Amino acid sequence: MRILPEISRTFGEYLLVPNLTDETCTPDNVDLSAPVVRHRLGQASPIRIATPLTSAIMGAVSSPQLAIALAQVGGLSFIHQNQPIAEQAGMVSAVKKHKAGFRHNDVNIKPSATLGEADELLRSTGRDAAVVTDDGTPSGAFLGLITTQDFNFHRHHVGDSVESRMRGGAELVTGTAGMSLSTANSLLWDSRQDVLPLVGDDGRVTALVQRRDYELHKQFSNESVDDDKQFRVGAGVNTHDYRERIPALVEAGADVLCLDSSDGYSVWQKNVLEFVRTEYGDTVRIGAGNVVDARGFDYLADAGADFVKVGIGGGSICITRDQKGIGRGQASALAEIVTARDAYAQRTGEYVPLCSDGGVLHDSHMAIAFAFGADFLMLGRYFARFTESPAPLVKVRGQALKEYWGEGSARARNAARYGQGTELHFEEGVDGYVPFAGSLYDNVKVTLAKLRSTMISCGSTTLRRFHETATLVQVSQQTFVQNSEDIERNERPTVG
């Protein structure tokens, strides 16, 4: 038996003490880009992301729609592996085939629905327009569009039908399936519409081009794309069916794979890493984990992992620590493994990036994770709250919530992730809700603005320098209580 001398600490136990801010420290100068995969010291990583955020390998989080939105803002998603191989490969290929600037037709309504229902649909999805189809599904025949500008409850009754206010197909300019983005954008501007539906020969809408996306596209110049300008996407794999799953994901175009396990310090992970190196050399990139100490990092780095994922028990939906008594505070785990990463780089000349996975409860925790030396983060709860996540949006006691369930919950039944054989004997995660927060685009923008601002206060314009120069201080419980305990918050909307 061995007892580690230090207490296990988490992000919320630290604050940053500002360093000198000089004239180079402006938001525009802050570079948040991060390496994702192993590279020689002094050389660039073959995969870098401009926004150092990745979405968790979870059914409630990483869908093609979320993956596309996240790649647009410079991050990366990992499509979950707790599904049949063909379905996961299909999701990967949907992201790779998605043409930038085009949107899936995923918000549909029937002409007989009420304006009240249309309003609810547009609000809950954060969209300005819904496609009206004969059966209200994406595969139904195209009938028209209903947008937020088509009705107003001061003038129209909530019970009126969508049909009474929609603009029918004959009134609208439409594009054809397969047309180029520049042609579609020209049509959009000429038509003065906000949305251009692209309609196939069979009368079904294949995609949409939106004026708002054109603006967004200009705003996010840092998209995560490969050499062919296709969006980058990652995919989870397990240590069971990897001989079949990995070739299918590679064929579908996955840019990077990641072993998905609650405890990655195992010979099974080493076997998978060896399989990848034997079959593909360095042409397939794969991360491994999760680990919480230097032994785990060294084992996986020596076995060839392209990045190592850190974190056991810190996830918002995680009950592993209660159920099995294993885990470690995320801050302590990172502190030890960052030292191991840097020692490994000195020893071998190879830099193996670290992904800090789970336990980010506030945006400020992201800054703390980077200050500790994480290269990029993996987030579940954060992304589950957004319009683009695949989980259902529900109303509970009048509050809009998104469902969010752990991969170790009975709902996910992801026995492979939890080393419980083919059956899940006990739960390691909860099935719950998170407050709906609106669109990924809006939220990521605010989060990154906060991160830049923190880095500026700490006198840094790169994540590397931020980590190297950060001054952290441990705080008492009282620190957070003290300065807010007698303030009643008002309900006015905040900025951002």
In the complex, the residues that contact ligand IMP under the rule CB under 6 A are 56, 58, 262, 311, 315-318, 320, 357-360, 378-382, 406-409, 428-429
Contacts with 77 (C-beta within 8 Å, 6 or more apart), sequence order: 54, 55, 62, 66, 67, 70, 71, 95, 233, 234
Shortest distance in whole angstroms from residue 263 CB to ligand IMP: 11
Toward ligand IMP, which CB reaches closer, 66 or 208? 66
Toward ligand IMP, which CB reaches closer, 142 or 404? 404
Q: For the chain, what is the radius of gyration of the CA atoms? A: 24
Q: Distance of CA 135 to CAs 161, 187, 203, 204, Å? A: 14, 27, 13, 12
Burial label for 165, CB within 10 Å (0-12, 13-18, 19+), is: middle
Contact 461, 31 (CB under 8 A): yes
Q: Distance of CA 492 to CAs 123, 232, 439, Å? A: 19, 39, 20
Task: Work out whether the CA dihedral 372, 375, 376, 377 comes out positive or negative.
Answer: negative
Toward ligand IMP, which CB reaches closer, 133 or 409? 409
Alpha helices in 81-210 (DSSP H): 85-97, 115-125, 162-165, 181-191
Catalytic residue of the set 25, 318, 355, 458 = 318
Toward ligand IMP, which CB reaches closer, 136 or 311? 311
Shortest distance in whole angstroms from residue 415 CB to ligand IMP: 11
Alpha-carbon span 231 to 100, nearest angstrom = 8
Q: Which residue is nearest to ligand IMP (CB)?
A: 429
Contact 132, 166 (CB under 8 A): yes
- What three-state secondary structure class fits 195? strand
Contacts with 120 (C-beta within 8 Å, 6 or more apart), sequence order: none
Shortest distance in whole angstroms from residue 392 CB to ligand IMP: 17
Task: Put residue 324 in one of left, alpha, beta given phi > 0 → left and psi -120 to 50 → alpha.
Answer: alpha
Q: Distance of CA 494 to CAs 110, 447, 487, 488, 490, Å? A: 35, 14, 16, 15, 10
* Residue 313 annotated as lining a ligand binding site: yes
Shortest distance in whole angstroms from residue 383 CB to ligand IMP: 8
Shortest distance in whole angstroms from residue 320 CB to ligand IMP: 5
* Residue 262 annotated as lining a ligand binding site: yes
Toward ligand IMP, which CB reaches closer, 74 or 311? 311
Q: How many CB atoms lie within 10 A of CB 269?
A: 25
Toward ligand IMP, which CB reaches closer, 144 or 311? 311
Active site residue 417: yes
Shortest distance in whole angstroms from residue 380 CB to ligand IMP: 3
- What three-state secondary structure class fits 268? helix
Catalytic residue of the set 38, 417, 452, 458 = 417
- Amino acid letter for position 105: N
Toward ligand IMP, which CB reaches closer, 360 or 437? 360
* Residue 312 annotated as lining a ligand binding site: yes
* Residue 318 annotated as lining a ligand binding site: yes
Shortest distance in whole angstroms from residue 324 CB to ligand IMP: 10
Binding site, residues? Answer: 260-262, 311-313, 315, 318
Binding site for NAD(+), residues? Answer: 260-262, 311-313
Binding site for K(+), residues? Answer: 313, 315, 318
Question: Catalytic positions, please?
Answer: 318, 417
